Amino acid sequence: MNILVLIKPTPDITKVRFDVEKGVVDRGSASLEINPFDLYAIEVAKRIKRVFGGFITSLSMAPPHAEPALRDAIARGVDRAILLSDRRFAGADTWATSYTLASAIRKLGSFNIILCGEKSVDGDTAHVGPEVAEFLGIPHVSFVTRIIDVSVDKVIVESDFGEAYYEVELKLPALIALSRPVIFRDEFIEPSMPKVSDVLRAKKAKIDVWSADQLADVADVSKFGLNGSPTRVVRAYYALEKGRETRVVKGEEGVNMILSVLRETGVIS
Amino acid sequence: MALPISLINELKSTVGDQWVIIEEKAVERYLYDETAYGVRPQPVRDIVVVKPGSTEEVSEVLKLANKYKAKVYIRGGGTGLVGGAIPTKPGIVLSLERMDKVHVDSENMVAEAEAGATLGKLIEEAEKHNLMFPAHPGDEGAFIGGLIACNAGGSRAVKTGVMRNYVLGLEVVLPTGEVLKLGAKTIKNNFGYNLAHLFVGSEGVLGVVTKAYLRLYPKWSYTATIVVPFDSRVKAFKTAKKLLFSGLIPLALEYFDRRVIEASAKHLGLQWPIMEGDYFLMVILAEALEDVLFLELEYVDKAAREEGSLEPFATQRTDEQKTLLKIRSEIFTALKKDTFDILDTTVPLGSVDKFIEAVMDIERKHGVWLPVYGHVGDGNIHIHVLNYQGYTREQLIGVSEEIYEAALKLGGVITGEHGIGYIRRKYVRRLLGDVWVETMRKLKGILDPNKVLNPDKVIPEE
């Protein structure tokens, strides 16, 4: 089985700085790691490979310093990692990103299934998986919590649509965007720790870096990056956080204060 | 209330009415620390909690305590494990919680931290300046003052040393209220005997630490956590020894077994991710250069396999490393409800394996479970004595004392990091000797003539 995994190298969200003026995550402010949701995609890919045999290729679009994250993917079981990295890809919105990834998939040729995390922890849009599938014209389903069964020509999954769980059958090739945690058949899946021997092997592994020019035969390069992005971040701001206020009052005064606060906030009339 | 009302009033006019607490319910949370239930002393409830906001106020409170001959118990984050913060006589609990500022002088890589700042805050503030406080001496809710007063250790001591190694300067309020400023922001300072270190590890019997200059370092850029599973304890210790004697200095070198680590994971609602093996070494590496880190990874892998380990695992991901460390760090909490006492016996580096074998003999002799884990990298081993069915309090103390004896026989000590506090005071005279006790008494007499500070702690009763 030819398995593709889409991996987004994301910064540690607890450490990254946010450039409020430009409205973007300053990706240089923290090292990049595999998006946590995508770790589940790798695990599912490994399970499928275990059943059917095959080859796992990962595809990412990121700056060059994302390489360690891709080496981590190799240590965790990916057979070949491809990094789409070019200044011309920079500033892409989810449409341009999906277009670029889909172009690279076309260039790679045939595949049976594409797996990805349902969203990334930095962008949080959940757009890219479904958009890639739309560009490729293949069926897709997101928010998948369980792979009920998979065979050479179809996959049956359970998806959390918010108001209900849906059982969906898709003809392969298809794209599955995974939630976490996820069940593969009857097994609860958690990302497994890599073996040290695999970490050391991955350190020496070759990462294929593809530029915009290498996709020119399968794509319209003017649709890459910021130029190809139909959406713009107009303004970005931090959510307002109002901290707790402490006031120390005693006895009668305290009772009256609580009553007046409850009245002011409309809890009592 | 045993304290005179005039003292309460004077305390109120010193620190402000709202910072003097006498209501029973409000006082409750100042009565205990994290000492295991089986051995912690019964606190005295007849106390007043005073929360000074500055060094000057601490000084005034101590002067008042001397004037009224009132006892003073210093309180930090309440994370101690030997009853050091528990009031055992009527008096004042001096809580430093309001003095929680941390200023990072990034140019000089020094933190100026007030005693009431938590370890967590120090770590966070240093990080904002791309610096770090390398040691991790325990619970992040612990206060800096307490960490210094107890010379806290933690799992990183093998590489970073303990709290003492980071104290460049101190501000101490003496028991009589005078303020002593010691040291400077310099790394070297030979101007006069380093009195600051008299107070590091004094467990609050000689003075109140109010502020410190702590040395910071640039952050390690690359870290990895390795878990090496084994099918035998002996192989785990042989590997640990081999690593320690190789010259490779990991950030932490921890030992635990499956039963202990799975208890902690279960307590946290997590799963211990390694299915292979029943005994584990957890090796944390931290380096400035990626290539060095990888060379070390390679070495640990090779050394472990040579000693017969199973397949070692490693992660460089921050979230996974945090989870592994969390599971390791919460062993104590997971076992606490069944724990009679937690020991922190420490033996010389080369004797760790012999010590653990001795503990296993005690386990077999009594037919009980003695959870064993700890910092093999520095010889500091934690052992829980649990509340075994049918055992009296005296018998449980007997089990602890057998473990102490085993450590002492190997040239070890009964506490590597928790300290003496209240619960181990009874062993002081026998283990440290009369001359030690008399010297401490003389020191105490000079600094605290009215014996107001932390009575019933560290120094044996006369």
| CA B433 – CA B454 distance, rounded (Å) | 21
* The listed CATH number (3.30.70.3170, 3.40.50.720, 3.40.50.150, 3.30.70.2740) that belongs to domain B338-409: 3.30.70.2740
**CA distances to A13, A218, A221, B134, B252 from B159, in Å:** 28, 54, 52, 9, 7
Architecture of domain B5-95: 2-Layer Sandwich (3.30)
What is the pLDDT at residue A23? 64
Hey, what are B171's tokens? 């501000």
Contact (CB<8Å) A193/B301: no
Which residue in B18, B271, B297 is closest to A196 by CB distance?
A: B297
Looking at chain A from residue 197 to 226, which residues have their Cβ under 8 Å from any Cβ of chain B? 197, 199-200, 203
Residue ranges, comma separated, of all CATH 3.30.70.2190 domains in chain B are 222-331
Domain count, chain A: 1
pLDDT per residue of chain B (462 residues) written in tens, 0 to 9: 789 999 999 999 999 999 999 998 999 999 999 999 989 999 999 999 999 999 999 999 999 999 999 999 999 999 999 999 999 999 999 999 999 999 999 999 999 999 999 999 999 999 999 999 999 888 899 999 999 999 999 888 889 999 999 999 999 999 999 999 999 999 999 998 999 999 999 999 999 999 999 999 999 999 999 999 999 988 999 999 999 999 999 999 999 999 999 999 999 999 999 999 999 999 999 999 999 999 999 999 999 999 999 999 999 999 999 999 999 999 999 999 999 999 999 999 889 989 999 999 999 999 999 999 989 989 999 999 999 999 999 999 999 999 999 999 999 999 999 999 999 999 999 999 999 999 999 999 999 999 999 999 999 987
The yes/no answer to whether this complex scores an ipTM above 0.90 is no
In chain A, what percentage of residues exceed pLDDT 70? 93
Which residue in A33, A72, A200 is closest to B298 by CB distance?
A: A200
What is the pLDDT at residue A237? 73
Distance from CA of A191 to the nearest CA of B (A): 9
Q: Is A24 inside any structural domain?
A: yes
What is the pLDDT at residue A59? 98
- Best of B318, B323, B325, B327 to disrupt the A interface by mutation (most A CBs within 10 Å)? B318
Per-residue pLDDT reduced to its tens digit, A199-214: 999 999 999 999 999 9
| CA A242 – CA B378 distance, rounded (Å) | 45
Residue ranges, comma separated, of all CATH 3.30.70.2740 domains in chain B are 338-409
**Residue A12, SS3 per DSSP:** coil
| CA B189 – CA B272 distance, rounded (Å) | 47
The CATH number assigned to the domain holding A13 equals 3.40.50.620
**Residue A37, SS3 per DSSP:** helix
CATH placement of domain B102-218? 3.30.465.10
Which residues of chain B have a CB within 8 Å of the CB of A190?
271, 273
Residue B438's CB is within 10 A of a number of other CB atoms, namely: 10
Question: Cβ contacts of residue A206 below 8 Å, gap of 6+?
Answer: none
Amino acid at B268: L
| CA A5 – CA A128 distance, rounded (Å) | 13
Residue ranges, comma separated, of all CATH 3.30.465.10 domains in chain B are 102-218
Kindly state the helix (H) or strand (E) to which residue B328 belongs, with its residue range: helix B318-329
Q: Is A101 inside any structural domain?
A: yes
Question: Cβ contacts of residue B439 below 8 Å, gap of 6+?
Answer: none
What is the pLDDT at residue A29? 64
DSSP tag of B168: E
Q: Beta-strand (E) ranges in chain A?
A: 2-6, 9-11, 17-19, 24-26, 32-34, 55-61, 80-84, 113-117, 140-150, 154-160, 165-171, 174-184, 187-189, 207-210
String of DSSP letters for B16-68: -GGGEE--HHHHHTTS--S--TTTPPPPP--EEEE--SSHHHHHHHHHHHHHH
A110-130: string of b/e by CB count within 10 Å (b at 16+)? ebbbbbbbbbbbbbeebbbbb
Looking at chain A from residue 102 to 131, which residues have their Cβ under 8 Å from any Cβ of chain B? none
Q: Does domain B222-331 have CATH number 3.40.50.2020?
A: no
Contact (CB<8Å) A192/B273: yes
Chunked into runs of 10 residues, chain A (269 residues) has average pLDDT values of 96 72 66 94 97 97 95 98 96 95 95 96 91 97 97 96 94 96 93 96 96 96 94 78 78 88 88
Looking at chain A from residue 59 to 98, which residues have their Cβ under 8 Å from any Cβ of chain B? 68, 72
Burial class of residue A215, CB neighbours in 10 A (0-12, 13-18, 19+)? buried
- Best of B289, B306, B319, B327 to disrupt the A interface by mutation (most A CBs within 10 Å)? B319
What is the pLDDT at residue A22? 66
